[in-house]
Amino acid sequence: MRYGAAAALLAAAALLGCSQAEKPKAQVIVYTYSEYIDPDLPKEFEKQTGIGARIDVYENTEEMMSKLQRGGASQYDVVVVSDHAVPVLAKLKLIQPLDPAKLPNAANVSEQFKSAPYDSGSKFSQPYQWGTVGLMYRKDKAADLEPSWAALLDPAKQPGPVVLIDSMRDMLGVALKSLGHSVNSRSTEELKAAAARVLDAKRSAKCLGFAPGVGGKSKVADASAVAAIVYSGDAVKACVEDDKLAYVIPKEGSIIWTDAMTVPAQAPNPDGAHRFINFILDPEVGAKLSDFNRCGTPNAASLKLIRKEDRDNPAIYPPADTLKKLEYIEDIGDATRLYDEIWTAVKAR
């Protein structure tokens, strides 16, 4: 009997301990995409401000959003989110408006990002990095690959094993672009055509299936695939290490993305969060960040400080005529269910 009571008490204490175990100390907890911040930067932040910065990672935006909805909004101080998530998170009241007084470095941001379509006036977010979605391939297996989405979507033109991207908006967006439509199309006909295209690609024997962007990159990098849909940052990092790899934006156009820093509604340390965001917007920190990520910097002041080869690399900073063919993914509001059913069709048939 006594043993039973002791065991019960111990168990209760352990359970309680579990829920307390994640209490933050004097720190900010940053929730971001994996391998998206130079590991030196949190240490520099701590040196400058005395606040520790802990980085936690997620795989894709939608999973992150549902985590935030399920109570994650009180676990993190800064969340780096995809552009199209910002208005939705704001509507769901999961993020709080930023205090411009605490962000003097926000003046460094380039004009086009200050008035970005997803958050004009930068009320809820500050830009973190930007980039594109493109085609990554092996030059040693497909030297004269035509820079077109057909290399992935047309079974006859697939140069070998290919990987599609396991993200609804990105995959359907790519398919829509390949047919000359907008990535934010709400037309049933256009979406059905896009789904048909992806289904053709999927059913080909050369298709290795769907993987997240970084998964596709890994497969191309270790030669188990010849081409994949990859985000520019991951792709350029791989290309820099191995010159047999290449990244290109297909001629039909593609998706441009901006990742933005936001502060969740119940952040444990909102003051620290603002200091972290301000820290990232510092010109030198921004340059160091982009040097590490090989992504585009939205910081006009950092642009002058980044590595020269990156500044001249069209994979990171596409030329003006390519930029015209790039589209932002926007929230599709009430067309969500349509997209859902289309994506289900792609995965079901």
In the complex, minimum distance from the CB of residue 304 to other proteins, in angstroms, rounded to a whole number: 34
In the complex, minimum distance from the CB of residue 20 to other proteins, in angstroms, rounded to a whole number: 9
Q: Which member of 212, 270, 296, 298 binds other proteins (CB under 8 A)?
A: 212
Q: Which residues pair with 326 in a beta bridge?
A: 254
d(CA 262, CA 78): 6
Burial zone of 233 (CB within 10 Å; 0-12 exposed, 13-18 middle, 19+ buried): buried
Site string for other proteins, 149-168 (x = CB under 8 A): -----------------x-x
In the complex, minimum distance from the CB of residue 263 to other proteins, in angstroms, rounded to a whole number: 17
d(CA 144, CA 142): 6
Q: Under the criterion CB under 8 A, does residue 327 sit at the interface with other proteins?
A: no
In the complex, minimum distance from the CB of residue 182 to other proteins, in angstroms, rounded to a whole number: 19
Supply 30's token pair.
């940053």
Q: Under the criterion CB under 8 A, does residue 344 sit at the interface with other proteins?
A: yes
Q: Under the criterion CB under 8 A, does residue 143 sit at the interface with other proteins?
A: no
Q: Under the criterion CB under 8 A, does residue 320 sit at the interface with other proteins?
A: no
Q: Which member of 84, 138, 181, 219 binds other proteins (CB under 8 A)?
A: 219
Site string for other proteins, 252-291 (x = CB under 8 A): ----------------------------------------
In the complex, minimum distance from the CB of residue 164 to other proteins, in angstroms, rounded to a whole number: 9
Buried b (16+ CB within 10 A) or exposed e, 80-113: bbbbbbbbbbbeeebbbebeeeebebbebbbeeb
Confirm if 69 and 20 have CB atoms less than 8 A apart. Answer: no
Which among 100-108, 177-185, 317-325, 341-349 is the span making contact with other proteins, rule CB under 8 A?
Answer: 341-349
Q: Which residues pair with 228 in a beta bridge?
A: 136, 163
d(CA 179, CA 335): 20
- Residues in region 76-135 near other proteins by CB under 8 A: 88, 91-92
Q: Under the criterion CB under 8 A, does residue 308 sit at the interface with other proteins?
A: no
Which among 43-51, 52-60, 270-278, 303-311 is the span making contact with other proteins, rule CB under 8 A?
Answer: 52-60
In the complex, minimum distance from the CB of residue 105 to other proteins, in angstroms, rounded to a whole number: 27
Residue number, 142 or 199, with CB nearest to other proteins = 199
Q: Phi/psi of residue 16, each to 5°?
A: -65, -45
Which residues, 6+ apart, have CB-to-CB distance to 321 below 8 Å? none
In the complex, minimum distance from the CB of residue 163 to other proteins, in angstroms, rounded to a whole number: 9
Q: Under the criterion CB under 8 A, does residue 57 sit at the interface with other proteins?
A: yes
Q: Which member of 40, 99, 309, 340 binds other proteins (CB under 8 A)?
A: 340
Amino acid at 44: E
Q: What is the dihedral of CA 45, 49, 51, 52, to 10 degrees?
A: 20
Which parts of the chain fold into alpha helices (H)? 2-20, 40-49, 61-69, 85-91, 111-114, 150-153, 168-178, 188-203, 213-221, 232-241, 270-280, 283-293, 300-303, 308-311, 320-323, 336-348
d(CA 247, CA 23): 42
Interface residues with other proteins (CB under 8 A)?
1, 3-4, 7-8, 10-11, 14-15, 18-19, 21-22, 31, 34, 56-60, 62-63, 65-67, 69-72, 74-75, 88, 91-92, 166, 168, 188, 192, 202, 207-212, 214-215, 217-219, 221-224, 333-334, 336-338, 340-342, 344-345, 347-349
